[in-house]
Amino acid sequence: MTNGPRRHGTAGTRILVLSMVLVLLSWTLSIPVAAAESGGTSTPIKHVIIITMENHSFDNIFGKYPLDQNASNQSLISSITRPVNLLPGNMTESLTPVANGSFSTGNPEEGYSAYHLDWNNGKMNGFLKNSGPNSLKYFTASQMAVEWVMAQQYALGDMYFSSILSETVPNRLFGLAGFSPVINDYGPPPYISYNQTVFHQLSSNNITWGYYLNSTDRIMSPMSLIHNIGDYSSNLRNWSTFYSQLANNTLPSVSWLMPIHAGAEKYSQHPSYNMLAGELWLLYTVNKIMHSPEWNSTAIFINYDEGGGYYDHVPPPVVAGHQLGFRVPLIVISPYAKENYVSKTVLSHTSILAFIDFNWKLPALNRLVQESNLPLDFFNFNEAYSGGSIERAPLTFSPAIMNLMPETYDFGPATYHGITTVSSLFPMVFQIPLNERPYNSTGSSGTTLANLGYGISVDHNFAYVPFYQEHGLIAVVLIAGSAALYYYTRRLLLSRKG
């Protein structure tokens, strides 16, 4: 260890570093972003709300959906569309249900390495050995009835994948920028430049947005990995602002409502938190949106950032040369969302970015977003129901569900204390009778921004490390090393898969 500051380098070194910086900056050349038409959207959706929960695979939550042997209305259950899940016996390992009376499991082993070993080049048979016994547990209607009702009454995606075989931070960054400079939960640095995010794309086109946390006292991951995000603090808001804007019809066009950090983790459903707490928070929020002035122009995307080490039997595909991560749930709630619908479209976090770009007539954020399928088949924008409307009225939840409704968005365990099962809440009677729906119960879409002719906003993504005069050369090496590691790892995994 040395005492006091030291000066490094010479004028020649600084010139060399500056030259290398200019070369690196040349990588950021972007195709100009076209402005959206004033107030114009491609669909009736004027507000998109993205709610990202934590760390559960599709099979872990919906593996037995809609089977509930204790339900009194078996004929109604038989009419619910069944997704690709564990019911046909798609298991390569010995799985066990979470027992009645319990709403959580221990945390499976997480991480880039563990997940790749779980995946085992698509064999999907490494979970027990690498993520441990907790990875082989799954929830049922006893714990998940509220979320199952949302899926039953609206649209569920059973081919929605996390964006990378890794943890929370890189997956959430893919959902904000279409790429990640980190492959695990670390950093910053490296950072993502704000100019490479969907936030910059929206602001540049005068499209309003807000990112909502329980508290904004500190900027934490993943937002802390976006360089200079603090300069846009007026867009970083707390939950109370979200619910106030919702009530007074001032919600921005795109909202990210995140149950993470600042005491909100208890609603995130991250193991080993209580799953019912997260469901009731979702229930409160969805009900508020439904009965707000924004409802008739809103689409809610409820997804999970990554699988958390829990078992899923569907091998994740490669999209545009990029290996996706494990399958996770996606529920789409909207007056235009199809009822009791299961989408077979291959999607990921970048598909929601693609929907934002499509809806507000923007170029694709980057190439991966351009090549990602759009979730258009979840919606019915054209065929009227028997009453003559294409919009569905707000859902009236059953009295039993309403009795569980929290009184506020920030509630404690007393709200669900003593509950041992919620199985009786599922299923609910359909809002639209089966024979009156102008669409099939399953479907898929291969529509991308690329085949619609959309251009690209950010032509090349890169990791960003601040360039300080004395450490500029180190910064250049860090950037080059990070990029080389990412692309080498991806090529290695793809070659092994092939």
pLDDT in tens, the chain (498 residues): 433 333 334 434 333 333 333 333 333 333 333 333 445 999 999 999 999 999 999 999 999 999 987 777 889 999 999 999 999 887 777 999 999 999 999 999 999 999 999 999 999 999 999 999 999 999 999 999 999 999 999 999 999 999 999 999 999 999 999 999 999 999 999 999 999 999 999 999 999 999 999 998 889 999 999 999 999 999 999 999 999 999 999 999 999 999 999 889 999 999 999 999 999 999 999 999 999 999 999 999 999 999 999 999 999 999 999 999 999 999 999 999 999 999 999 999 999 999 999 999 999 999 999 999 999 999 999 999 998 999 999 999 999 999 999 999 999 999 999 999 999 999 999 999 999 999 999 999 999 999 999 999 999 999 999 864 334 445 444 555 555 555 555 555 555 544
Taking the C-alpha atoms of residue 436 and residue 251, their distance in angstroms, rounded to an integer, is: 33
For 373-492, strand residue ranges (E) read 442-443
What type of residue is 183? I
Q: What pLDDT is attached to residue 481?
A: 55
Half-sphere exposure at residue 91, Cβ-oriented, CA atoms within 13 angstroms: 18
The owner of tokens 């999907």 is 124
The C-alpha atoms of residue 133 and residue 112 are separated, in whole angstroms, by 18
Q: Is 373 helix (H, G, I), strand (E, B) or coil?
A: strand
Residue 486, phi then psi, degrees to nearest 5: -60, -50
Q: Specify the residue for token string 């860090």.
A: 478
Count other C-beta atoms under 10 Å from residue 249's C-beta: 9
Q: Bridge-partner residues for 343, per DSSP? A: 157, 443
What is the bridge-based pairing of β-strands 236-238 and 209-213?
parallel
Query: Which of 129, 125, 119 shows the shortest CA–CA distance to 494?
Result: 119
Q: How many Cα atoms within 13 Å fall on the side-chain side of residue 97?
A: 17
For residues 372 and 348, the answer to whether their CB atoms sit within 8 Å is yes
pLDDT confidence of residue 483? 53
Euclidean distance between the first and the last CA atom of the chain, given in angstroms as a whole number: 48
Domain edges within the chain: 39-464, 468-498
Nearest to 27 by CA among 171, 169, 162, 179: 179
- Nearest of 383, 357, 373 to residue 437 by alpha carbon: 383
Q: Which of 262, 245, 267 is nearest to 254 (CA)?
A: 245
Query: What pLDDT, on a 0 to 100 scale, did the predictor assign at position 348?
Result: 98
Whether pTM > 0.75 for this model: the answer is yes
CATH superfamily of 39-464: Alkaline Phosphatase, subunit A (3.40.720.10)
Q: Quick check: helix, strand or coil at residue 431?
A: coil
pLDDT tens per residue across span 192-209: 999 999 999 999 999 999
Distance of CA 481 to the CA centre of its chain: 28
Number of CB atoms found within 10 A of residue 384's CB: 11
| Separation CA 45–CA 381 (nearest Å) | 10
The 10s digit of each residue's pLDDT in 290-313 is 999 999 999 999 999 999 999 999
| Encoded amino acid at 376, one letter | L
Q: How many residues does the chain have?
A: 498
Could you tell me whether strands 318-319 and 322-323 are parallel, antiparallel, or unpaired per DSSP bridges?
antiparallel
> What pLDDT sits at residue 69?
74
The predicted pLDDT at position 2 comes to 36
CA distance 478 to 115: 25
CB proximity list for 204: less than 8 A, separation 6 or greater: 33
Do 213 and 177 contact (CB within 8 A), yes or no? no
Alpha-carbon span 314 to 316, nearest angstrom: 6
Residues paired with residue 443 on neighbouring β-strands, in sequence order: 343
Cα 477 to chain center, whole Å?
32
Residue type for position 225: L
Phi, psi of 364 (to 5 degrees): -60, 140
Contact 150, 161 (CB under 8 A): no
Predicted confidence at residue 470, as pLDDT, reads 39
Residue 432 phi/psi, 5-degree rounding, is -110, 120
pLDDT of 492: 58
> How distant, in Å, are the alpha carbons of 207, 337, 448 from that of 355?
14, 14, 9
* 7, 14, 63, 345 from 469: Cα distances, Å: 10, 7, 54, 49
Distance CA 124, CA 129 (A): 11
